[in-house]
Amino acid sequence: MFHRRRELGAVIAIAVTYSVFTYLNRAFLTWATFGGILTIAAEIGTITIGEGVLMVSGEFDLSVGSNFTFSAIVLGMLLKAAVPAALSVITVLGMAGLIGLLNGLITVRTRIPSFITTLGTLFFWNGMALWVTGGWPISFIAPLPVLNVLGNSTPSPASSLHVSAAWWAVAAVIFWIMLEKTRYGNWVYGTGGKTEAARAIGVPVDRVKLINFTICGLLAGLAGALQLGRMMSISPVRSGLELEAIASAVVGGVSLFGGIGTVLGMILGTIALASI
């Protein structure tokens, strides 16, 4: 394998955070609190998985926050226009994946660093979000069935845990299997850790990066859909999610230089930051 485990830092951060807050307030350490933290963490955690996988392959995507916002806005507009729910969700996820793929194509074909490429697309999609909404949020007064499925429903009326956390868990399992149990996972670690060596032994480095950019974009779009479902509203001026995702990945042991990181670490890093 091309990586070593570094999740211990996130585990320590979680333990210290919970110990301090429990000492200050005995009511902090409850299932309701933990369920609320998981719910809050679900959207940023979904983005972090995509960002983290891309970082392991040696690239960044600073446009995930604007992709998140624009995808949620487009989904809201499609649902308000009475487009069938399944078609709306599939369309938005496909669009989000294409946004990620576009970032990858520019980066891979032009050799412009992904930091610069995605910084530019960050501003572009932020501008698009403001343009299509006129600066106004997209909101729903009554929850649609698709919004309940995406994030608004809970196991019980008194529960603080929303179904969006389950979608995060599904994404985590899928990409844990991909990184840990498949040849493609080894390609990802090789691409980020020893790029030229990986290329020399036949790893399709450019294709790996394109796929990971697409995954990153798709998960940003999914996270946007989850937040629209949970909050029944999305603002076109939401910002900062890209830095939260990168920070969560790094706290969970993902290297800024590529080649190191696990999905478990990404989850723990997200929970650690969401707990603060």
Q: pLDDT (tens digit, 0 to 9) for every residue of the chain, 276 residues total?
A: 434 567 888 888 888 988 898 888 887 888 888 888 999 999 999 999 999 999 999 999 999 999 999 999 999 999 999 999 999 999 999 999 999 999 999 999 999 999 999 999 999 999 999 999 999 999 998 889 999 999 888 876 767 889 999 999 999 999 999 999 999 999 999 999 999 999 999 999 999 999 999 999 999 999 999 999 999 999 998 778 999 999 999 999 999 999 999 999 999 999 999 988
Q: What is the largest CA-CA distance in the chain?
A: 57
Q: How far apart are CA 73 and CA 228, in angstroms?
A: 8
193: amino acid identity, one letter: G
φ, ψ of residue 153 to 5 degrees: the values are -85, 155
pTM across the whole model: 0.93
Q: How far apart are CA 215 and CA 221, in angstroms?
A: 10
Which pLDDT tens digit goes with each residue over 79-95?
999 999 999 999 999 99
Structural domains in the chain, CATH included, are: 8-17+31-152+161-274 (1.10.3470)
Q: How far apart are CA 223 and CA 150, in angstroms?
A: 10
pLDDT given at position 13: 87
Q: Are strands 138-139 and 233-234 parallel, antiparallel or unpaired?
A: antiparallel
On whether the CB atoms of residues 162 and 232 are closer than 8 A, the answer is no
Owner of token pair 């590529």: 258
Which pLDDT tens digit goes with each residue over 49-60?
999 999 999 999
pLDDT given at position 3: 43
